[in-house]
Structure 1
Amino acid sequence: MGERRTMPVEGGLDHSIALLKEGYHFILNRRDRYDTNVFKTKLLAQDAICLSGKESATLFYDTNYFRRSDAAPKRLKKTLFGQGGVQGLDGEEHRHRKAMFMSLMTKDALEEISNITKKQWKQAAKNWESEKEIILYEEAKQVMTKVACAWTGVPLPERDLAKRAEQLADMFESAAAIGPKHWKGRKARASAEKWIEDLIENVRNEQLAVSPDRALYTFSWHKDLEGNLLDKKTVAVELLNLLRPIVAISVYVCLTGLAIHQFPNEVAKLESGKDKDHQWFIQEVRRFYPFFPFAAARVKKDFTWNGFSFEEGTLTLLDLYGTNHDPKIWENPYSFQPERFHEWKGSPFDFIPQGGGEFDLGHRCAGEWITLDIMKVSLKFLIHQIDYEVPKQDLSLSMVKMPSLPESKLVIKNIKCV
């Protein structure tokens, strides 16, 4: 795959601490320092290759060259991903399991989750009118938990709402944490898996009636390539791979609220009510603000690409944030310009806030369509269906904390339904 070249190498014994300190800018800083989209460093006491840019993303999502089965650190499996889930599968096993998720992404199902979201925002707004102020991020987590459970068919008694919202959020809020917050995330995952395992057992024993078109039913009765039902723990992990990301859309809801406040001139363009304008706005929220910092894989076999040698088993990170801010792809990447998406051609490798590649065969997030639909409903809710004020507060974004949120998590007050 090209003439041999020497890959730039960052000196030093290990840079894991630097990664924690620099967060979303870790790969981007070195990309600029070495003037390259490919370099080698050391993380977690092992060699690691870092990639950035559209061309690198195209390579990274080529399953002929990279595998996912042993890429995620154990800490992430204990909190964010769980063990045995689709993110860690490869080949035919991955395609078979991914098809289970994609079967849910029908036009009718996506329309339904939009309608559920509209209903839940409307109900939340009625409650907010009697409150002096609310924290948008915290409220969004509860709204998204209701949406996720209603859409998947998971029972959610009102008395359990706060508990389940916290459990599901703890899994992604602790992804990059160390110390007590990490252990809180591990505890949340263990408790959530037990909750879902009990539901699966009740479905299989016919003690819990659930519609066949709901994920709880579909996943409970899904069979592997050998024709065997998945074990309860794996099914629980996969159901949480639906519930958790939907609740994580609360991060995007908060960032959408921040964009509305920070860029009023762009919001004014939405008054026409044209769907394309709302679509461009939420896409720019996903591009402009940090969400996932990078994706991980391991080299599947020795190969050479653009003259650089890749050795089997090497940990490889793709810079999601840096690619979404690459000046070679995006003009004025640090400016909030929704209209840039008028010219975007829809490549699966240059705009990758939730990963890249193809939905059906690759590792691009199966729930990205859900994210877009829920964000669009949420945007319209915030600008067309309620009036509110944003008091003075700390709206600074940390580029180290994951997920990155305004320090205040966006407080709004004097809320009135329109």
Structure 2
Amino acid sequence: MNNPLALVRDDLAWSLLRQGYDALPQRWSGDEVATTARLLGRRTVLVRGPEGVRLFYDPDVVRRQGAVPRPLADVLFGRGAVHGLDGAEHRRRKGMFLDLLDRPWVERLAGEVGHELDTVTAGWPGARVRVFEELVGVYGRSVLRVAGVELSRPAADRVARDLAVVVDGFGFAGAAYARAVLQRARLDRWAARLVRDVRHGRVSPPPGTLLHRLAVGEGAALPSRVAGVELLNVLRPTVAVAWLATFAARELVLRPDLAASLGDDRREHVAFGHEVRRLAPFVPALTGLVVRPARLGAVDLRPGDRVLLDVPATDTWPASFPDPDELRPQRFAEEPDAWSYVPQGGGEVDAGHRCPGEPSTVALLAETTRVLCGLDLRAAATTYVDRHRIPTLPEGGLVLQVGPGRSGTNDPAPQRRRAGIVAGEDG
């Protein structure tokens, strides 16, 4: 193929820009676990399923440093972030995150979010609400307080919105990427200045909080810019849960009996959250670079190849998830398998790149489900999802009319509803 225009059109990057979440499924045929493509002109191997996950997380075969294109990595993760590290340096930084985001952190954050949600939703009955916007504010204000970042409510809401803008830009959709670049620069300056203020005694966050520990505790040896980046790498993913929680709310609206079936059992709420993460469209793939020859299925991987883990295809792998397009929370009566369920990365969290913030995501979705199940939620506009945009949301951020009772449904355009696909970020 010598036609330059044809080469561009065949490039996976172009397909993702044009087709969004529908781009990767078109690259597969049958039950193959590996296939080849080109991404930004480089030979790229797509992998999926548990076999693909094991290869992708084999540190002797795949590394992360330099794998994510700089225009994306710098905006989403920030320069010097844990996501782009390998080997001993990654293990040290990852260990710090695991210490910071421990069980007490998760419990404090979930408790704060639950309290905030109870307070905010008390005013919802009889109102018309945009679920996504409300959740961005709730999660943002909550994580800032728990992290030890003391701000007024308007200032906290502004930071939350800025963090959401950064997440919204990772798919290079229209002007969203440009907005993300501008907000990322602003947030980097704000976070680095905040760390410096703590180190110079101008700000005194409560001891033991995330900001205190990153500035003068475990993160004291990090440059203020990098410590600020890692602070944002806790704040930003927390706000990003608003995307998944909006899809959780959509499912409760479209399935009027679901809220009643979930009841007040937290285990059911957790299982529902797992299933939402499995099916709701978010990040389509994770990427690495091949450093040692390997073979998967019928495909040889060569040093220098880019390798993409197709997260949606893995999370809907029929051998792992029978009837994969059906929403069935009961699939997760037990904890998910780390090699077949990968919405926020796969493998072992301590030794590999699985996201250390995943327990927080699980807890926030469960707490949000608890609150939403007690509301009478009805669609006030279409719940249509545009799968050509990355990341995507129900139209309008899911506009709902909240009644006085429990949940119901009145979708103006049920025939436009489409099943989604989920992915996440790892570290």
Q: Same fold (TM over 0.5)?
A: yes
Q: 2:166 aligns with which of 171, 188, 193?
A: 171
Partner of 1:118: 114
| C-alpha distance after superposition, 1:235-264 (max 9, x if no partner) | 111111000000001111111101111223
1:322 maps onto 2:313 in alignment: yes
Return the offset for 1:103: 0.4
* Contact preservation (8 Å) 1:255, 1:285: yes
Give 5+ residue unaligned stretches, structure 1: 1-9
Return the offset for 1:11: 11
Q: Which 10-residue stretch deviates more, 243-252 or 156-165?
A: 156-165
Q: Which 10-residue stretch deviates more, 402-411 or 387-396?
A: 387-396
Partner of 1:137: 132
Return the offset for 1:306: 4.7
Partner of 1:293: 284
Q: Which 10-residue stretch deviates more, 120-129 or 81-90?
A: 120-129
Residues 1:264 and 1:154: Cα distance change in structure 2 (over 3 Å)? same
Partner of 2:193: 198
Partner of 2:238: 246
| Aligned residues: CA RMSD | 2.2
Residues 1:206 and 1:263: Cα distance change in structure 2 (over 3 Å)? same
| C-alpha distance after superposition, 1:259-287 (max 9, x if no partner) | 1112233332222x222222211111111
Return the offset for 1:222: 5.3
Residues 1:40 and 1:222: Cα distance change in structure 2 (over 3 Å)? farther
Return the offset for 1:404: 2.2
Partner of 2:418: none
Task: Kindly provide the amino acid, as one letter, of the partner of residue 101 in structure 1.
Answer: F
- Identity across the alignment (%): 28
Q: Which 10-residue stretch deviates more, 215-224 or 53-62?
A: 215-224
Partner of 2:213: 218
How far apart, in 2, do the equivalents of 1:382 and 1:12 lie?
43
* Contact preservation (8 Å) 2:173, 2:389: no
* Contact preservation (8 Å) 1:389, 1:414: yes
| C-alpha distance after superposition, 1:74-123 (max 9, x if no partner) | 12123211111000000010010011110023322221111101111122
Give 5+ residue unaligned stretches, structure 2: 1-6, 407-427
Mapping of 1:11-410 within 5 angstroms?
14-32=11-29, 35-128=31-124, 132-221=127-216, 229-271=221-263, 273-306=264-297, 308-342=299-333, 346-384=336-374, 387-410=375-398
Task: Kindly provide the amino acid, as one letter, of the partner of residue 326 in structure 1.
Answer: W
* Contact preservation (8 Å) 2:17, 2:172: no
* Contact preservation (8 Å) 2:207, 2:213: yes
* Contact preservation (8 Å) 1:65, 1:299: yes
| C-alpha distance after superposition, 1:202-251 (max 9, x if no partner) | 11001111123111111113568xxx821111111111100000000111
| Secondary structure of 2:257 counterpart | helix
How far apart, in 1, do the equivalents of 2:119 and 2:8 lie?
55
| C-alpha distance after superposition, 1:163-194 (max 9, x if no partner) | 21221001110001255221110010000111
Residues 1:188 and 1:12: Cα distance change in structure 2 (over 3 Å)? closer
| Secondary structure of 2:72 counterpart | helix
How far apart, in 2, do the equivalents of 1:300 and 1:88 lie?
15
Return the offset for 1:305: 4.2
How far apart, in 2, do the equivalents of 1:238 and 1:179 lie?
27
Return the offset for 1:135: 0.1
Q: TM-score, normalised by structure 2?
A: 0.88
Partner of 2:423: none
How far apart, in 1, do the equivalents of 2:259 and 2:123 lie?
25
* Contact preservation (8 Å) 1:388, 1:412: no
| C-alpha distance after superposition, 1:52-78 (max 9, x if no partner) | 111101110111111111011112123
Residues 1:282 and 1:301: Cα distance change in structure 2 (over 3 Å)? same
Residues 1:223 and 1:279: Cα distance change in structure 2 (over 3 Å)? closer
How far apart, in 2, do the equivalents of 1:190 and 1:111 lie?
31
